[in-house]
Amino acid sequence: MFPRDFAWGAATSAYQIEGGWQTDGKGPSIWDTFCHKKGRVFGNQNGDVACNSYELWEKDLECIQQLGLTHYRLSLSWARLLPDGTTRNVNQRGVQYYNRVIDDLLACNVSPMVTLYHFDLPQAIQDLGGWKSPGMATLFDNYAKFCFQTFGDRVKLWITINEPQVCAKLGHEVGIHAPGLKEKGTAAYLVGHNMLRAHSMAWHSYNSTYRKTQNGAVSLALNSDWLEPLDPGRSEDVTSAERDLILTLGWFAWPVFVTGDYPELMRSAIETQSKMMGYSDSLRLPRFSINDPPILGTADFFALNYYTSRKVKSGGCSEQILSMKRDLAAEEVLDPSWPICGVSWLAVVPNGLRKLLKYIKDVFNNPTIYITENGFAQVGPLQIEDVERCEFYKSTILEVAKAIEEDEVNVCGYFAWSLMDNFEWADGFSARFGLFHVDFSDPDLRRSIYQSGREYAKIISKYKSV
């Protein structure tokens, strides 16, 4: 059902678990700045301490071993390694911390998958313009080369940027993520463009300088819901669902896996709205320069973060200003038959993952796929015996098996989000995605396994022994 070498993992990110926000020479990140202003996060919570993994790494490792994981996905804090964002100032205590994490994982026969950027830009770089600045690509490439040079002898799976669509949209259009900008209709496309340029430069640096000796693989993690027409017999809904997938997943996957440029459907949708509102298209979705390294082919595998699904129907946006919502010109709705888990946006639709995997196989040239995030949130009263989440993991992993066996999708790994309860961005600590519960009221931040953690460990044990 699953290949013997299938990657069974769990995922975390630096800001969400590490804490130690100004310990041992770490510089501030945009999430430090964002959370320290009132009214931006549930309960005015922050990641100053979080799970305190910077000091409690051994406890995390015990959790990883208890699950029997073959892989563990973590991210590096750019500001912990390079406090001002540049290699002029290397924080050796940060280097030592990640060396220890990587070496401990390997000593336990767990392979690290390392993300270079998971939302937490050094504040020093944001002060220079952040992801809106064209110089950002070179700054990121320098950081990436530093990480490849420092850790690449042991790390064989790299993610350059996690969820560029979320970074661009929620951080620069909607403003509910750091840096909290609300520059509708313009900034997100510019940010996404510079993220693609940065990713491409880093991939080419790895390919030309490090691949021969380090033998690793590099990609970027793309998020997408499964999106299907509300009424499959209505052509407007079919077209709207197709456009939604293109403007969400195709935005980043098309340049990397298909043509080296944005989908024509995306550019024409944005251009149509620009003309209606009297804007020049060049101000909105940028064009790639011949001076940039080519983007096509800059992924050694397809990394997918999937959580939920939506039905899509045609419908304009009533806003009389430029916005991503207006460009989409469609409305996403929930199927009332889908159960909602915890957070309002997360409808539980395991077969949506199978459908999305088949879509990726068909549209993006049958790539090797790692599911780099997938999970189920618990809110409200704590339930260690989390029966619904147990069922979620069983049914979801069964859908992955069907994708492999029946649809012949080349899925090579599955990473549950998350190893443990952590800081869930704007939701603070109110949404619990962990396989382990973290008691944030306990000074020792004790980790306790959920029933779903035991269930996932059983699934892993079953397939590892086949």
Catalytic-role residue among 163, 173, 373, 424:
373
Distance CA 396, CA 388 (A): 12
The two three-digit tokens of residue 57, written as one number:
């790494």
Which helix (H) or strand (E) segment holds residue 47: the answer is: none
Q: Where are the domains of the chain?
A: 7-224+344-463
Q: State yes or no: is 173 an active-site residue.
A: no
What percent of the chain clears pLDDT 90, i.e. is strictly above it?
Answer: 95
Give CA separation, 432 vs 48, 306, 421, 422, 435, in Å: 18, 17, 5, 7, 9
Can you tell me the mean pLDDT for 146-156? 99
7-224+344-463 classified as CATH 3.40.50.720: no
pLDDT attached to residue 415: 99
Query: 442 CB contacts (<8 Å, ≥6 apart)?
Result: none
Q: If you count them, how many residues does the chain have?
A: 466
Evaluate if residue 345 carries a pLDDT over 70: yes
Residues 153-186 pLDDT 10s: 999 999 999 999 999 999 999 999 999 999 999 9
Can you tell me the mean pLDDT for 79-94? 98
Residues 205-255 pLDDT 10s: 999 999 999 999 999 999 999 999 999 999 999 999 999 999 999 999 999
Distance CA 238, CA 241 (A): 5
Q: What is the mean pLDDT of the chain?
A: 97
Residues 281-307 pLDDT 10s: 567 999 999 999 999 999 999 999 999
Burial of 173: CB neighbours in 10 Å, binned 0-12, 13-18, 19+: buried
